[in-house]
Structure formats: structure tokens, C-alpha cells
């Protein structure tokens, strides 16, 4: 305001000084003297406006220096007195389409309330605006694919849902997750992984339109919202098209050719939920369910899937708590040599009693623990606790006994597995040769070479390796040849029917015959009757484990057995 007071005619000697001040600033200034009907410009005027102004009438001219859409507002800003309102600042873009100006106005009124002087300042805020645009971009878009990001998708989906409620329409949410993406990332590197994500994102963007929102959440996860689909027809069509695209390869800039597939889950408003986030969750849950069936699947929402999932979640939470509070114990099931019924070893089997006092079977909670990673602390606990108990028996009874431990594929694959196992054995002075590691075929199928290497390392340490549940999986004896396995545990499903079913009988006999020739020991699991026992003994199965000879029991009961054996 001081500036204006002193910028009046009577102080014209100071004009020079103000001229210098204007010139030092990056801004452009316009001074309008209403009484004298003169207009003066100063500062960086020519940089922004290619019109010279001298009279108030000419002011109109700069009205047209800004982009079309700002013209009416800008005129209001330039001539506020016409409408009796004072608009103090606004932002405009010039006709060059690049430069952004922040415009400020100050008006001085005389005693009667009429405008006397007015000064306008125009500041170049292009740089600031660009930074701001980048921030806005980041807030709405995903940098990698240029698709909407998750946050913005949720917002837009919310708008779809509001509209659908008014118009009585449906909205389908399609959750897409590429199959085996981690293999691309791990195997070919993240640069290639990123390119796959980009290419697939670009492909999906072809579906975007008024009624379809396409977004990229993160990594290999995309989400679509389809407005007003007729039932699921349009969604099914999109799925079909994606499927057709997947039949063709993705060609990367480095020349690599990749085929990919994706798992897709669909949940619809209002059937699955009326809430945007919940819909996305439901679509994800059913996608996972579909993935369990195989690659390139589509799964539509149904209530049973959600119910199962919620039960799993409940179980997961309880499991985490149990790990934390160590609400587990270990039962040991004896194994006997078939020919003389001497104790061969014991298998450690985990037991979980939850807070309500229910015993929960490991067949139920181990798969969940494998999914959510709690198998690592659980497995470590089983390892340490059973070795500790085993070492106590050793000290007291000096038995020659094998401790069999179930090792999950997840545990086995960890780099520190051998090291931590050796650490525990060292601590309790138990030799690796007294320990048998039970692994299942799921360990073998992933990367046979790597698995074989690791098995050899274990073997060199002196561990026994046994293949659990033999007969339930691929069970090809040919690929066992190269693996350093000591023992094959024939699954209970064989033993169950070995007496009654002739085919099973033939298979079991030939397995035992061949396995013995390959030099493996055999243990039959789940032997419940005397008849089964006698038969297995007659076909030269080495050892027997089952309810007939001993159920899984607490450590104290094992001690009784050891006492008896020691005589
Ligand atoms: P598995 O390794 O095949 O263990 C044998 C299962 O068969 C045990 O069930 C055992 O109680 C049961 N069983 C033994 N003899 C008989 C019989 O004569 N009749 C019948 N009907 N069943 C018999 P459990 O203890 O419920 O364990 C189930 C599975 O849970 C185990 O199958 C194993 O895969 C897993 N598991 C148990 N403890 C652990 C552990 O500490 N770590 C890991 N990773 N898995 C474990
Ligand atoms: Ca086992
Ligand atoms: Ca088994």
C-alpha cells in the first residue's frame, strides 16, 4: 500500500527508484491511475505480454493474452470495479500454453469509496506449477505404467458406485495378478520385470474408457472397474480378450520373447459389497482362490469363498499369537523295526492347543503357517525343542535312536537352514547322524538341481534324509535316483488298502522291491492292524509306524519306552 501512496504523481521524482525496484523483480507490474486515466507498466512486462498499455481502455488488450478458458475470469480480475467486487488474485496460463502467472491486485479507494489507484502484479509461477503438476501426477498416476494408481482408482471406483446406486446399475471389479511374476523378476532381472509390467499395463489401457477404469496397484497387480456391465457379460468379454492377448508373446526391447498368464478375480457391486475397498478385497480373495486351481484362471465372487477366507484369517491371527506365546507342544510317535520290533526312532509331531482348549491338527495349521511365513518361527521352535528333549533322553538312556523331524519346503529353501540346524545340534550335542529330515516332494519339484546340491550338503554333514508321504505325489522313482535319500516313507493311503486291494498290493510290493534295490530304507506309515503289520513284514518293509504300535505321545511316555528297552 505504501508503494501506491508514494507512487502518486506528486512523488514523481521517486519514480526512478520504483522503476529500479520493478526491474529487479521477476514480476510484471501494471499501475492504473483512475483519476488521471493513465496506465503504466513496469518490470518484466514485455516478457509476458506483447502489448504496450497507456490508457485504461487499452487494458482490454491484455485480456486476450491469456488462454481462452481464462479470458472471462481474467477480465473480471482486470476490471473488478465494474462489477463492484474485488478479486484479489488468480492464476492464468498465457497463450503460449506454457507460462503460468499468478496475478495479484491491490486497489486504493478514495473517501467516497471510488477506486483511486490500482496496481496489478504478475508473477511467473511456471516452475512451481510444473513441480506441483508432478506431485499431482504422482498422487493420481503410477509412474511405471502411466495408469491410475491404487489411491486414485479407489476414488474413481467410489464415484462409479455412487452413480450405480442412483441408476440401479452394477459395477464389476476385476483384480488381475500375473502368474509367476517373481520368476521373471528373479530370473531375468527387475529391468525386464518392469518392462513386462509396462507392456501389460499398456495393453490393459486399451480397455480404458468412460465406463472402464484401468489401474496399476503395484508390482504385477492391476485392477479394472467396469461400470454397468450387463451381468458379467462384458467382464467375461474383457477376460476372453485378455486370454487371447496372452496367447501371443510379449516382445521386449532386448528381443526377449515372453509368454505370460494372469489370475483374475471378479467381485461385483452390489452383490459382493457396496464399499469400494471391500470390493477390491473380495476380488483379490477370489483371484487367490482361482490361482490355487491353476494358471490363467478367472474366478467370480461367491460367498463361500469369503467365508473360508475369513476363517483362515481368524486362524492366521490365532496362529501368530500362538507363535508369540509358544502355545505348542511336541508329540513323538515311535517307529519300530519290522523284523524284531525294536525301537528305530521317533517322529516329532507338533501339537497346538488354542486358547479355548481345542487341539488343532497340524494338517490344518501347517499349510496356513506356510502361507503366512509363521512356519519359520514354528519350525525353528520344533527343531530346537525336540532336539533339546532328545538330548535329555540320550544322556539318561544312551539309546541308539533316530529323531525324525518334519521340514517344510519353506524352511528348507532358506539360506540359513543348514547353519541354524547345525547350531541347534551343536548346542545340545546331538550328532547329525542321529537326525532324519523328513521332506516332501514339494521340496523336490521346484528346482531339482539346487535341491540336490543342498541335499548333498546335508548328507555330507551326516544327516539322514527321508522322503515323506511317498506315493501321494509324482513319486517317480526315476528322478529319485540322483538324490541322496536314505529313507522312503510309504504313505498311509497305500497301507490303508494294501490288504483289501490287489492293485495297491502289487504297487506296494514293487515299490519296496525296487526301493530296496536302490538302497533305500522303507518305513510304512499309518499301520493300524496286525494284519497290515504281518504283511508288510513279509514283503520286507524295514520299519513300521502307526497306531498299532504306538500313537504320537508326550515325551514322558517315550521315556517309559526307553526305560523298558534299556531293561
Ligand atoms: P506326517 O508327517 O505324514 O505325519 C504322520 C501323521 O499321521 C501324523 O498326523 C500322525 O499322527 C498320523 N498317524 C500316524 N500313525 C497313524 C495311524 O496309524 N493312523 C492314523 N489315522 N494316523 C496316523 P499329525 O500329527 O496330525 O500330523 C499331520 C501332518 O502335519 C504331518 O504328516 C506333517 O506333514 C505335518 N506336521 C506335523 N508336525 C510338523 C512339524 O513339526 N513341522 C512340519 N513342517 N510339519 C509337521
Ligand atoms: Ca512326517
Ligand atoms: Ca507322512
Sequential DSSP letters for 55-114: SGGGHHHHHTTB-GGGHHHHHHHH-HHHHT----EEEEEBTTSS-EEEEEEEEEE-TTS-
Inter-residue contact 75 to 91 (CB < 8 Å): no
Nearest to 223 by CA among 157, 293, 302, 292: 157
Q: Give the distance (Å) from ligand 2 centre to CA of residue 472.
A: 13
Rounded to whole angstroms, the Cα distance separating 302 from 272 reads 8
Sheet with 100-109, side-by-side order of all strands? 38-43, 28-33, 115-124, 100-109, 89-93
Q: What is the pLDDT of residue 364?
A: 80
Q: Which of 213, 241, 217, 243 lies closest to 228 in space, CA to CA?
A: 213
- Only one residue has cell 529391468, namely 191
| CA distances in angstroms from 152 to 204, 218, 238, 510, listed in the order given | 17, 13, 22, 62
pLDDT at 207: 94
Q: Which atom of ligand 1 sits closest to the CA of residue 349?
A: 38
Residue closest via CA to ligand 1's atom 44 equals 408
Q: Which residue's CA is minimally distant from atom 11 of ligand 1? A: 552
Alpha carbon distance 436, 407 (integer Å) = 10
Q: What atom in ligand 1 is closest to the CA of residue 411? A: 44
Distances (CA, A) of 102 to 28, 92, 136, 397, 442: 10, 7, 19, 90, 66
Ligand nearest to the CA of 409: 1
CB 489 within 8 A of CB 523: yes
Q: Which residues contact 326 (CB under 8 A, 6 or more apart)?
A: 381
Yes or no: say if 505 and 486 are a contact pair by the CB < 8 Å rule: no
The Cα–Cα gap between 262 and 334 comes to 46
The whole-number pLDDT of residue 462 equals 97
Atom index in ligand 1 nearest the CA of residue 408 equals: 44
| Residue 349 CA, ligand 1 centroid: distance in Å | 6
Ligand 3 centroid to residue 387 C-alpha, Å: 20
Q: Is 204 helix (H, G, I), strand (E, B) or coil?
A: helix
Instruction: List, in sequence order, every residue forming a beta bridge with 267; answer none if it has no partner.
Output: 173
| Nearest atom within ligand 1 for CA of residue 375 | 44
pTM: 0.56
Q: Using most ligand atoms within 8 A of CB, pick from 322, 362, 363, 471 the residue to mutate for ligand 1.
A: 362
Contacts for 540 with CB less than 8 Å, ≥ 6 apart:
512, 516
C-beta separation of 40 from 56 below 8 A: no
Atom of ligand 1 nearest to the CA of 407: 44
Residue matched to cell numbers 450387463: 230
Phi, psi dihedrals of residue 434, rounded to the nearest 5°: -90, -5
CA separation for the pair 201, 443 (Å, rounded): 34
Residues with CB under 6 A from ligand 1: 333, 348-350, 361-363, 366, 379, 382, 406, 408, 468-469, 525-528, 545-547, 552
In terms of Cβ atoms closer than 10 Å to its own Cβ (0-12, 13-18, 19+), residue 567 is: exposed
* Atom 42, ligand 1: residue with shortest CA distance: 406
Residue 119: closest CA among 233, 245, 7, 16: 7
- Of all ligands present, the nearest one to the C-alpha of 404 is 2
pLDDT at 474: 55
Question: Can you list the residues of the chain whose pLDDT is less than 50?
Answer: 1-8
Amino acid at each position: 500500500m505504501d508503494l501506491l501512496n508514494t507512487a502518486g504523481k506528486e512523488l514523481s521524482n521517486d519514480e526512478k527508484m520504483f522503476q529500479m525496484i520493478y526491474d529487479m523483480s521477476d514480476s510484471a507490474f501494471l499501475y492504473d491511475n483512475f483519476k488521471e486515466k493513465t496506465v503504466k507498466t513496469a518490470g518484466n512486462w514485455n516478457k509476458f505480454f506483447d502489448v504496450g498499455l497507456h490508457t485504461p481502455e487499452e487494458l482490454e488488450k491484455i485480456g486476450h493474452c491469456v488462454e481462452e478458458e481464462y479470458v472471462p475470469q481474467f477480465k473480471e480480475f482486470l476490471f473488478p470495479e465494474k462489477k463492484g467486487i474485488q478479486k484479489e488474485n488468480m492464476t492464468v496460463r498465457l497463450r503460449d500454453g506454457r507460462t503460468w502467472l499468478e496475478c495479484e491486485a491491490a486497489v486504493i479507494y478514495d473517501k467516497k469509496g471510488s477506486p483511486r489507484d490500482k496496481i496489478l502484479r504478475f508473477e511467473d509461477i511456471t516452475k512451481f506449477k510444473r513441480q506441483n503438476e508432478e506431485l499431482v501426477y504422482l498422487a493420481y498416476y503410477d509412474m511405471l505404467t502411466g495408469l491410475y494408481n491404487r489411491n486414485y482408482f479407489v476414488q474413481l471406483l467410489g464415484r462409479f458406485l455412487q452413480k450405480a446406486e442412483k441408476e440401479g446399475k452394477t459395477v464389476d471389479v476385476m483384480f488381475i495378478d500375473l502368474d509367476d511374476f517373481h520368476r521373471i523378476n528373479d530370473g531375468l532381472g527387475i529391468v525386464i520385470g518392469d518392462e513386462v509390467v509396462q507392456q501389460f499395463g499398456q495393453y490393459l489401457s486399451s480397455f480404458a474408457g468412460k465406463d472402464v477404469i484401468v489401474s496399476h496397484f503395484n508390482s504385477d497387480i492391476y485392477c479394472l472397474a467396469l461400470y454397468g456391465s450387463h451381468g458379467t457379460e462384458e467382464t467375461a468379454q474383457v477376460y476372453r480378450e485378455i486370454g487371447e492377448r496372452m496367447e501371443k508373446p510379449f516382445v521386449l526391447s532386448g528381443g526377449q520373447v515372453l509368454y505370460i498368464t494372469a489370475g483374475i478375480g471378479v467381485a461385483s457391486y452390489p452383490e459382493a459389497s457396496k464399499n469400494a475397498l471391500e470390493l477390491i478385497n473380495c476380488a483379490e480373495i477370489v483371484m487367490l482362490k482361482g490361482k490355487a486351481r491353476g494358471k490363467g484362471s478367472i474366478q467370480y465372487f461367491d460367498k463361500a469363498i469369503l467365508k473360508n477366507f475369513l476363517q483362515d484369517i481368524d486362524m492366521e491371527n490365532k496362529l501368530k499369537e500362538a507363535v508369540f506365546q509358544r502355545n505348542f507342544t511336541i508329540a513323538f510317535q515311535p517307529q519300530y523295526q519290522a523284523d524284531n520290533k525294536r525301537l528305530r526312532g521317533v517322529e516329532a509331531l507338533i501339537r497346538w492347543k488354542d486358547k479355548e482348549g481345542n487341539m488343532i491338527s497340524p494338517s490344518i495349521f501347517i499349510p496356513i503357517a506356510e502361507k503366512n511365513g509363521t512356519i519359520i518361527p514354528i519350525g525353528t521352535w520344533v527343531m530346537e525343542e525336540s532336539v533339546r528333549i532328545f538330548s535329555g533322553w540320550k544322556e539318561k538312556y544312551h539309546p541308539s535312536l533316530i529323531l525324525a523331524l518334519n521340514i517344510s519346503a519353506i524352511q528348507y529353501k532358506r539360506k540359513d537352514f543348514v547353519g541354524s540346524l547345525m547350531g541347534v545340534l551343536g548346542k545340545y550335542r546331538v550328532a547329525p547322524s542321529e537326525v532324519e529330515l523328513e521332506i516332501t516332494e514339494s521340496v523336490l519339484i521346484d528346482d531339482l538341481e539346487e535341491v540336490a546340491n543342498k541335499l548333498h550338503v546335508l548328507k555330507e554333514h551326516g544327516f539322514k534324509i527321508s522322503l515323506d508321504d511317498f506315493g501321494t505325489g509324482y513319486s517317480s522313482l526315476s528322478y529319485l535316483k540322483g538324490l541322496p535319500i536314505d529313507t522312503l516313507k510309504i504313505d498311509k493311503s497305500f497301507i490303508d488298502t494294501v490288504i483289501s486291494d490287489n492293485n495297491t498290493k502289487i504297487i506296494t510290493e514293487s515299490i519296496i522291491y525296487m526301493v530296496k534295490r536302490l538302497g533305500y530304507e522303507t518305513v510304512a506309515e499309518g499301520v493300524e492292524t496286525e494284519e497290515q503289520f504281518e504283511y508288510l513284514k513279509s514283503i520286507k518293509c524295514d520299519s513300521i509306524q502307526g497306531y498299532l504300535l504306538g500313537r504320537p505321545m508326550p515325551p514322558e511316555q517315550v521315556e517309559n519306552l526307553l526305560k523298558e528297552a534299556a531293561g
